[in-house]
């Protein structure tokens, strides 16, 4: 679909959104001019989402929840956080220490977890939040200020990852999918990286092919997908600051054999604007979310390379059902008291893809995939 075709199926921008999007596009055009007219998709995504004061996550749009652009599992219901609290309680019972949540969104999951952990009698010494969006951090502060004193006093916001290794849990729900990724397409003479270049007429930005890159092969000609090279340094940095405990990542994603399945020929990149999902990142730049599914095999390899142990991988449905079925006081299942571990689990694309047709296999939120173990 052309950019104008995509725009025609999306709600119109408000005058303020249009002004904001034009400012983000101007910033990207300035970088394009300085970079001889081509930017990698990764750099484009970084600017569109995180350019200081302008990017989607750096500026002040509503984003998450029913009145925003998309809905995440903790926003659908507190059941997600309450189930997760059981896992946290099991880990904290072994390790003690704290919880560090990355990208805490509206703060709802933090509020649910703290309330539930208090009920389990296993509160973390502190609940640290590392949030790149000043706007979302402000929302988190006002939501968590409503907690009872014994809980809200445990919450702190960090500017960067802790320098001293922590004990306990690092949590991230729907953060890995927001790491800027690269895009590529397969041609007869090899894999070519896709970038962004100035467009023509009413379409001010357009995809552009640039150069061959070392990416998954062999794949059929025309096959287009994503690869997130930032996963490994991200996991390595998280491993550095995890002394003893569990890194728990929840996201929509697949093991690699499914991620790069020949039939998934147009990749996993999705954009979200006012509860509509589409696949054109060059429209509504700076006022829509851009995301790509997570290659969990890459996550697992990155964890192993960073001296973590992969202690589990499951669909979110299986993970939540197992936790829901488990009563309080059951012995720890996933936690490793004697070392560091990493647990990934998969897909809940339905929540983000109402218009995207990805929910075919889903029976009830947040279930979607029936995946074998990687
Ligand atoms: C899709 S939202 C998910 C929010 C929340 N976890 C939820 O489930 O509702 C992505 C969040 O990750 C944050 N984020 C993105 N990159 C990050 C990074 N490198 N470190 C920490 N937070 C990040 C964003 O600002 C945002 O809060």
358-368 pLDDT per residue, tens: 111 112 222 22
Nearest CA to ligand 1 atom 24: 103
What pLDDT does 284 receive? 93
Q: Is the pLDDT of residue 201 over 50?
A: yes
Task: Give the side-chain half-sphere CA count within 13 A for 148.
Answer: 7
What is the CA(274)–ligand 1 centre distance, in A?
A: 18
What pLDDT does 291 receive? 96
Higher pLDDT, 207 or 53: 53
Paired tokens of 353: 């893809």
Q: Is the pLDDT of residue 372 over 50?
A: no
- Residue 116 in contact with ligand 1 by CB distance below 6 A: no
- Residue 269 in contact with ligand 1 by CB distance below 6 A: no
Mean of pLDDT values over 87-102: 95
User: Across the chain, where does the E strand assignment appear?
Assistant: 39-40, 98-102, 127-130, 155-158, 166-173, 182-187, 190-198, 205-212, 224-227, 242-250, 253-254, 270-273, 276-278, 289-291, 294-295, 309-314, 341-345
What is the CA(217)–ligand 1 centre distance, in A?
A: 31
Asked whether 138 and 200 are in contact (CB, 8 A), the reply is: no
What pLDDT does 312 receive? 85
Nearest CA to ligand 1 atom 5: 105
What pLDDT does 342 receive? 38
What pLDDT does 214 receive? 58
What is the CA(133)–ligand 1 centre distance, in A?
A: 8
- Residue 130 in contact with ligand 1 by CB distance below 6 A: yes
Q: Is the pLDDT of residue 289 over 90?
A: yes
Rg (the chain; Cα; Å): 20
- Residue 49 in contact with ligand 1 by CB distance below 6 A: no
What is the CA(174)–ligand 1 centre distance, in A?
A: 6
| Percent of the chain residues topping a pLDDT of 90 | 61
Higher pLDDT, 113 or 209: 113
What pLDDT does 9 receive? 84
Q: Is the pLDDT of residue 78 over 60?
A: yes
What is the CA(27)–ligand 1 centre distance, in A?
A: 23
Per-residue pLDDT band at 351 (split at 50, 70, 90) = very low
Give the number of the atom of ligand 1 that is nearest the alpha carbon of residue 250.
Answer: 8
Give the number of the atom of ligand 1 that is nearest the alpha carbon of residue 106.
Answer: 9
Over the chain, what is the mean pLDDT? 83
Mean of pLDDT values over 235-254: 93
What is the CA(31)–ligand 1 centre distance, in A?
A: 25
- What domains lie within the chain, and their CATH numbers? 61-181+228-252+293-374 (3.40.50.12710)
What pLDDT does 358 receive? 17
- Residue 173 in contact with ligand 1 by CB distance below 6 A: yes
What is the CA(130)–ligand 1 centre distance, in A?
A: 9
Give the number of the atom of ligand 1 that is nearest the alpha carbon of residue 64.
Answer: 9
- Residue 69 in contact with ligand 1 by CB distance below 6 A: no
Closest by CA to 328, choosing from 147, 116, 168, is: 116
- Residue 131 in contact with ligand 1 by CB distance below 6 A: yes
What is the CA(198)–ligand 1 centre distance, in A?
A: 29
Mean of pLDDT values over 186-202: 84
Per-residue pLDDT band at 211 (split at 50, 70, 90) = low
Mean of pLDDT values over 89-107: 95
Ligand 1 test: best mutation among 46, 48, 103, 174, most atoms within 8 Å of CB?
Answer: 103
What pLDDT does 189 receive? 80
| CA 170 and chain centroid, separation | 14
- Residue 281 in contact with ligand 1 by CB distance below 6 A: no
What pLDDT does 365 receive? 26
Ligand 1 test: best mutation among 46, 105, 273, most atoms within 8 Å of CB?
Answer: 105
Give the number of the atom of ligand 1 that is nearest the alpha carbon of residue 49.
Answer: 15
Per-residue pLDDT band at 216 (split at 50, 70, 90) = low
Mean of pLDDT values over 1-14: 80
Mean of pLDDT values over 302-315: 90
Q: What is 231-267 written as a DSSP string?
A: HHHHHHHHHHTEEEEEEEEE-SEE-HHHHT-TT-TT-
Asked whether 54 and 70 are in contact (CB, 8 A), the reply is: no
What pLDDT does 374 receive? 32
Mean of pLDDT values over 77-103: 95
What is the CA(265)–ligand 1 centre distance, in A?
A: 27
- Residue 133 in contact with ligand 1 by CB distance below 6 A: yes
């Amino acid at each position: 679909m052309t950019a104008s075709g995509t725009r025609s199926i999306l709600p119109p921008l408000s005058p303020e959104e249009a002004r904001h999007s034009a400012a983000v596009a101007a910033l990207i055009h300035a970088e394009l001019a300085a970079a001889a007219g081509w930017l990698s998709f990764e750099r484009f995504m970084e600017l569109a989402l995180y350019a200081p004061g302008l990017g989607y996550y750096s500026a002040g749009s509503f984003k998450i929840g029913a009145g925003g652009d998309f809905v995440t599992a903790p926003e659908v219901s507190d059941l997600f956080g309450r189930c997760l609290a059981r896992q946290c309680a099991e880990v904290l019972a072994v390790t003690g220490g704290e919880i560090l949540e990355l990208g805490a969104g509206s703060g709802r999951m933090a509020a649910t977890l703290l309330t539930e952990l208090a009920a389990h009698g296993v509160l973390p010494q502190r609940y640290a939040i590392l949030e790149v969006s000043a706007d979302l951090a402000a929302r988190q502060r006002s939501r968590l200020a409503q907690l009872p004193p014994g809980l809200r006093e445990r919450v702190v916001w960090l500017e960067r990852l802790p320098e001293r290794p922590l004990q306990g849990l690092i949590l991230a729900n729907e953060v890995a999918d927001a790491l800027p990724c690269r895009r590529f397409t397969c041609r007869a003479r090899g894999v070519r990286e896709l970038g962004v270049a100035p467009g023509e007429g009413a379409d001010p930005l357009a995809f552009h092919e640039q150069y061959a890159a070392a990416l998954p092969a062999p794949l059929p000609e025309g096959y287009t997908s994503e690869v997130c090279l930032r996963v490994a340094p991200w996991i390595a940095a998280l491993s550095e600051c995890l002394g003893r405990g569990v890194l728990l990542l929840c996201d929509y994603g697949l093991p690699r054999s499914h991620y790069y399945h020949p039939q998934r020929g147009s990749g996993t990149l999705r954009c979200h604007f006012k509860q509509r999902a589409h696949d054109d990142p060059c429209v509504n730049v700076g006022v829509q979310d851009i995301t790509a599914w997570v290659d969990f095999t890459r996550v697992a390899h990155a964890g192993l390379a960073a001296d973590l142990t992969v202690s589990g991988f499951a669909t979110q449905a299986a993970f939540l059902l197992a936790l829901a079925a488990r009563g309080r006081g059951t012995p720890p299942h996933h936690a490793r008291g004697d070392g560091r571990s990493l647990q990934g689990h998969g897909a809940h694309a339905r929540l983000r893809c109402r218009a995207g047709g990805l929910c075919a296999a889903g029976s009830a939120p947040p279930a979607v995939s029936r995946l074998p173990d990687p």
